[in-house]
Structure 1
Amino acid sequence: MRNARGIFQLIVGVLVLLTWSASANSLKGVRVWPSPESTRVVLDLTEQPSYKYFSLTNPDRLVVDLKHTTGKVDLANVNVDSKLVKKIRTSTPPEKGTLRLVLELARPVKPVLFPLSPTKPYGDRLVIDAFDTKEPSKVVTASQKVTQDRDVVIAIDAGHGGEDPGSIGPGKRYEKRVTLAISKRLANYINKQKGMKAIMVRTNDYYVNLNKRSEIARKNQADLLISVHADAFTSPQPRGASVWVLSQGRANSEIGRWMEQAEKHSELLGGAAEIIENTNSEKYVARALLDMSMDNSMVESQAVAGRIVKELGKVTKLHKKKPVAASLAVLKSPDIPSILVETGFISNPTEARLLTTASHQDKLALAIFRGTRDYFKQSPPPGSYLARQANRNHVVKRGESLSLIAARYRTSVSQLKKENKLKTDVVRIGQVLRIPGSSS
């Protein structure tokens, strides 16, 4: 009898232990990262979450049930400050051991939830992205651009942000803060230059999806996308700035991906997409035009990157003395020249201190600006204020063809040949070509 009682007590103890283990997850904190078009809510947990969610209307709410979870977070002290999420609170759970959170919404949202594994300085997390469902602004295609003395538009992408801190250097120096500070200074220099205008991909501490970054640049009709970052390595020795451009391999794979999205053709090709629409040869013509657009973007990216490297070399040590080609996610728009600037190694103690110093941030921003300005003054986009101010001659560079130059200036091969009295399509390195319509 005593043995039976002992076995029973053991079984009860095991069940209690299992029950305790199943409810071991705990909500440690709630962080909110608002951005212009979405709000990210991050739940900090002690373990990987098990969860379900659903939406309610009248009023609009998003309900998240965290199974086997407890929490003593004071939600009243959570700084929401969002146009989409008004309040975060708890509610009566559907069953014991479940923590129910309710996001009170200003209007309907498209929710996307996903867990994140521990990465320093964070542990397990559940990310709740609430996307605004209001009708987005219509994308302006290249054919719709205002061409009368327009500004040269530079989209500035401050790397990382919000839940994504980027690399963390000695003294808890966050890459996301360094990139935003340099980007704001760069935007200030650009906006002071007559004929140029800066667009910030993010203006505060929130995360922007990598695909969204190039979309924001396109929406704002950018002539160049500059993504600002700070490098890092596993050892503290490496230091110096570098500039990166899209590799040919990544370029080809991106064009292939765009080809599978016919609805995107009009965004990339403007009026040309309407002309080739509903024809048997559309796919092949679209591919040829996208190839030409990507080639032109890569030539421009390489040229402006070279100038920025030269300017950076005057104010800081260089890690790479020439632009480097790589397969980087943010450098993937076939129609927008794009570069990524690594402003230095935040993993290097000396450089980490410099990168968080206002004077050094200003030097880096000024160098990036000067390289960008000088490029666009020499090769201004047609219809821009800088184009009207410039002597519209083009010096043929290695790798350039007449068709590539025509695409660069948005003119035709026949017009170029007529303007320069050319009998063939062959051009030579160093040859000076007059661009049609270049008179001021």
Structure 2
Amino acid sequence: MRGSTHCHGGRRGVRAGRGGAWMGCRQGWSHTRPREGDMGTIKQAPTRRRFLGHCLGVSGLLMGGGWVSASQAGRTALLRRVRTYQKDGHVRVVLDLDVPTSHTLFALHDPERVVVDLKNTRAAERLTTAGLTGGMLRRLRWARKADGTLRVVFDLSERVRSKSFPLAADAKHGPRVVVDLERHTQPAAQPVKQVTPRRGRDVIIAIDAGHGGKDPGAVGPRGTREKDVVLAIARRLEALVRKTPGMRPVMIRRGDQYVPLRERINRARRHKADLFISIHADAARDRKARGSSVYVLSQRGATSEHARWLARRENDADLIGGLSLGDVDPTVAPVLLDLSLTAKIEESFELGEAVLDRLKRTGRVHSRRVEQAGFVVLKAPDIPAILVETAFISNPQEEHRLRTRAFQHKVAEAILGGVKAYLKSNPPQGTLMMAAGSGEHVIRRGETLTQIANRYGTDVRTLRELNALEGDVIRPGQVLRVPRGS
């Protein structure tokens, strides 16, 4: 859901005008007719194919002023080159364009990022980040959105203050957007925080047993209720997670009680869950339908007719509690919700693929790909979330299997196996798994060495040397070593 950016408490401001722009908080960022050379010589780097990336929310907004932009002229701008300069806790990034374009700037936290959206812009085919990162700038990535906006994301090692401004073409350079990042002054208590144990926190897994209480869910031919069998599977998964070092389970419902769909999201967020797994049993008009499925949220509609029908059936549970499906969490600003969901859907896909892969090894699957549908329970804006349909309770044979302890345990083990595989490549920030630094990346379908190098702030040559690769051919499921500390 899209909307305008909100500033809270008067802490941030936006102003654009001839010759420059201003954005700031109470610390007082400003500039007057800025010059790129104010930071000294800018580091340059060659270019390479662009990298896809997403981001989560909005904390500030900056519009470039004083230009006749590409967006105004109806022409697509080209991001030709990226240059950086670092000095004494200050990073300047220069985005070289062929024609002016308007831009927005905002910051994201946990993990720390700064994002620049360049309106009606595309990246040069050979654009690269080689030689640009270091210090508090961990990684640079970009992706073009459906509306033509080029999103450039700076992954940071710490919180910063940020500002940006456009520069018109001169005798030496074309139009530019300059982004300044300055180390955020830490409070006096910060040195104490640095003495905390190195162990790191546990990864928190929110386990949601579907339905419950007055909502029985689907009912099998022999009267088996979905709410009962999925709670049994959830409890087995809880026990397995609790035994796993570095993980901690959180049950959304422990007994036979009804929990509204949005309250399930809220409970997961209150516990600061890193992952959200909703467990269900599928149902279909055709009693021969069988197998497991994994779903992630879709904002554009279901990926199949069955997914569309299933989402409608699951979401109807909210009507039982007397809630409107159109309610929007008032704590989440529309822009933040939209951007957060977009980013988390990508992470949810990766989690879903890992879980589906384990389910394929343990039994039959109904769909061999991760499906998408508009499940309300998956709309946590800041948590990767999947919905697992363990089997078809409408199928007499699978109804019987759902009642057995052996099958329940088998499904729970498959889900945990997928979670472990996902976390191996995506350890949440500040956790024991991140501190351990596995130094490995499991290749996903469609990934290239260039994309993986960009993700870990390294280059293709380094990846080839670490993994004794003679070329660029890689395969899904292959494990690559990545630089320690990436």
Counterparts of 1:142 and 1:328, CA distance in 2 = 25
Give the counterpart of 1:332 among 371, 379, 400: 379
Q: Does the C-alpha gap of structure 1 residues 387 and 363 become closer, same or farther in structure 2, counting only changes over 3 Å?
A: same
Instruction: Look up the match of 1:172.
Output: 223
Q: Does the C-alpha gap of structure 1 residues 396 and 309 become closer, same or farther in structure 2, counting only changes over 3 Å?
A: closer
Matched, 1:224 2:278: no
1:128-169 per-position Cα deviation (integer Å, ceiling 9, x unaligned): xxxxxxxxxxxxx96899996111111011001011111110
Whichever residue aligns with residue 332 of structure 2, its letter is K
Instruction: Find the residue that maps to 1:264 and give its secondary structure.
Output: coil
Give the counterpart of 1:387 among 427, 434, 441: 434
Counterparts of 2:329 and 2:226, CA distance in 1 = 34
Instruction: Look up the match of 1:199.
Output: 250
Residue 398 of structure 1 deviates from its aligned partner by 7.8
Matched, 1:264 2:332: yes
Instruction: Look up the match of 1:182.
Output: 233
Whichever residue aligns with residue 340 of structure 1, its letter is L
Counterparts of 1:264 and 1:429, CA distance in 2 = 43
Counterparts of 2:296 and 2:418, CA distance in 1 = 15
Asked if the contact 2:206/2:252 (under 8 Å) is kept, the reply is yes
Residue 330 of structure 1 deviates from its aligned partner by 0.9
Tell me the TM-score normalised to structure 1 length: 0.51
Asked if the contact 2:351/2:419 (under 8 Å) is kept, the reply is yes
Residue 350 of structure 1 deviates from its aligned partner by 0.4
Instruction: Find the residue that maps to 1:313 and give its secondary structure.
Output: helix
Report matched runs for 1:271-420 at 5 Å.
287=335, 290-392=337-439, 420=458
Residue 293 of structure 1 deviates from its aligned partner by 2.8
Instruction: Look up the match of 1:233.
Output: 284
Asked if the contact 2:424/2:440 (under 8 Å) is kept, the reply is no
Counterparts of 2:282 and 2:329, CA distance in 1 = 33
Instruction: Find the residue that maps to 1:308 and give its secondary structure.
Output: helix
Residue 391 of structure 1 deviates from its aligned partner by 3.1
Residue 260 of structure 1 deviates from its aligned partner by 7.5
Matched, 1:242 2:293: yes
Counterparts of 1:175 and 1:341, CA distance in 2 = 13
Asked if the contact 1:250/1:332 (under 8 Å) is kept, the reply is no
Q: Does the C-alpha gap of structure 1 residues 182 and 261 become closer, same or farther in structure 2, counting only changes over 3 Å?
A: closer
Give the counterpart of 1:161 among 212, 228, 231: 212
Tell me the TM-score normalised to structure 2 length: 0.47
Whichever residue aligns with residue 253 of structure 2, its letter is R
Instruction: Look up the match of 1:87.
Output: none
Q: Does the C-alpha gap of structure 1 residues 396 and 343 become closer, same or farther in structure 2, counting only changes over 3 Å?
A: closer
Report matched runs for 1:73-222 at 5 Å.
149-222=200-273
Whose Rg is larger? 1
1:20-60 per-position Cα deviation (integer Å, ceiling 9, x unaligned): xxxxxxxxxxxxxxxxxxxxxxxxxxxxxxxxxxxxxxxxx
Q: Does the C-alpha gap of structure 1 residues 221 and 400 become closer, same or farther in structure 2, counting only changes over 3 Å?
A: farther
Counterparts of 1:143 and 1:210, CA distance in 2 = 27
Residue 235 of structure 1 deviates from its aligned partner by 2.9
Counterparts of 1:188 and 1:164, CA distance in 2 = 25
Counterparts of 1:292 and 1:350, CA distance in 2 = 42
Residue 346 of structure 1 deviates from its aligned partner by 0.4
Counterparts of 2:329 and 2:225, CA distance in 1 = 37
Counterparts of 1:196 and 1:337, CA distance in 2 = 16
Asked if the contact 1:241/1:318 (under 8 Å) is kept, the reply is yes
Instruction: Find the residue that maps to 1:336 and give its secondary structure.
Output: coil
Q: Does the C-alpha gap of structure 1 residues 228 and 261 become closer, same or farther in structure 2, counting only changes over 3 Å?
A: closer
Counterparts of 2:344 and 2:328, CA distance in 1 = 20
Residue 193 of structure 1 deviates from its aligned partner by 0.6
Residue 258 of structure 1 deviates from its aligned partner by 11
Residue 434 of structure 1 deviates from its aligned partner by 6.7
1:303-346 per-position Cα deviation (integer Å, ceiling 9, x unaligned): 11111111111222111111101111211122111110000000
Q: Does the C-alpha gap of structure 1 residues 379 and 170 become closer, same or farther in structure 2, counting only changes over 3 Å?
A: same
Instruction: Look up the match of 1:127.
Output: none
Counterparts of 1:344 and 1:328, CA distance in 2 = 18
CA RMSD of aligned residues (A): 3.9
1:156-210 per-position Cα deviation (integer Å, ceiling 9, x unaligned): 1100101111111022111000000000001111111100111000000111000
Residue 378 of structure 1 deviates from its aligned partner by 2.1
